[in-house]
Amino acid sequence: MLGLSGQLSVVGFDGNASWTGYAMIAGHWYSGPGQVDVNTAFLHDTGTAVGDKYTLTSGGMHTTVQIAGEVFDTAGGKPEMIGALSTLSAVDPGLAPNEYQVGLAPGTDTGAYVNALGHVLGRGYLVDINNSSSAVLPAILGLADALTLLIAVVAALGVLNTVVLQTRERVHDLGVFKAVGMTPRQTIAMVVSTVAGIGLVAGLIAIPAGVALHRFVLPVMGSAAQTGLPASVLNVYHPPELVLLALSGLAIAVAGALAPASWAARTRTASALRTE
């Protein structure tokens, strides 16, 4: 392979394989004879780009293919090319499928289908389920949820500590306010309002910063794995979600201030006035 010192992983499909789930980073899925898709490692090692032509050789045979797109597939950091079996057969007529991938219709019992197909094919064939990521993704999402909850609890405790100190320092003032007619609900509203605005501003500042950090860190991680990233990996936040996330700062601030605000509302006026 021109420009490559090591091995090139080649995947050839016989039939429409657009449903197999390869995410596109750039370009499009191969759609005609002579078109192939490659991963980021291939483009990097060969110095090519989407739209370029590349020559495949095998023995005395050769063919020129056009790079139609860049796919999101690390392939263990090795260059990979994906195309139609008919295209790749131009340099190796002996190529033949050694694996069949089956996409099941929604609602199909996967286990029952695998068992039935394995029974029909016999012992000479291995039938399994492509579920390599089924256990990994829930674990990652669970860890992310746990970390998010932990950060929210720590933030609320920080607000609680701050409001407790402020409320104890102002307990005499609260006694004066109650003496002139402030109700318990008004007391709670006053204490909570002291941190609500800060929480809202913090959310409005933190969300854009977090999105910017997300878009900076992920490409760095992808580069370390020798792969680019599709837009679907980077554009994961939508306006409604961003609004809710921005309001989360307000929610955390209110949650942390409710306990000391309730204590301040229950404090007797006489006791508050005697406090120096």
User: Could you state, in chain order, the average pLDDT of each consecutive group of 10 residues for the chain (276 residues)?
Assistant: 70 86 90 90 89 83 90 86 88 82 87 90 84 68 89 87 79 72 81 85 89 90 86 86 87 85 70 51
**pLDDT reported for residue 147:** 92
DSSP 104: P
**pLDDT reported for residue 71:** 93
Of 117, 115, 83, whose CA–CA distance to 100 is shortest? 117
Which residue type, as a one-letter code, is found at position 119? Answer: H
Q: What is the DSSP string of 11-35?
A: EEESS--GGG-PPEEEE----STTE
**pLDDT reported for residue 20:** 84
Q: H helices of 101-183, where? A: 110-121, 136-169, 171-179
Measured CA angle at 55 (ends 50, 56), to 5 deg = 115
Beta bridge partners of 82: 11, 37
Q: How many CB atoms lie within 10 A of CB 133?
A: 9
Q: Is 217 exposed, middle or buried (0-12, 13-18, 19+ CB in 10 A)?
A: exposed
Instruction: Indicate the helix (H) or strand (E) that contains 70.
Output: strand 61-71
Could you tell me if 40 and 76 are in contact, meaning their C-beta atoms sit under 8 angstroms apart? no
Helix axes 171-179, 184-224, angle to 10 degrees: 140
Domains, in order of start, for the chain: 9-96 (2.40.40), 136-274 (no CATH)
Instruction: Indicate the helix (H) or strand (E) that contains 10.
Output: strand 9-13
How far separated are the first and last CA of the chain, in Å rounded? Answer: 85
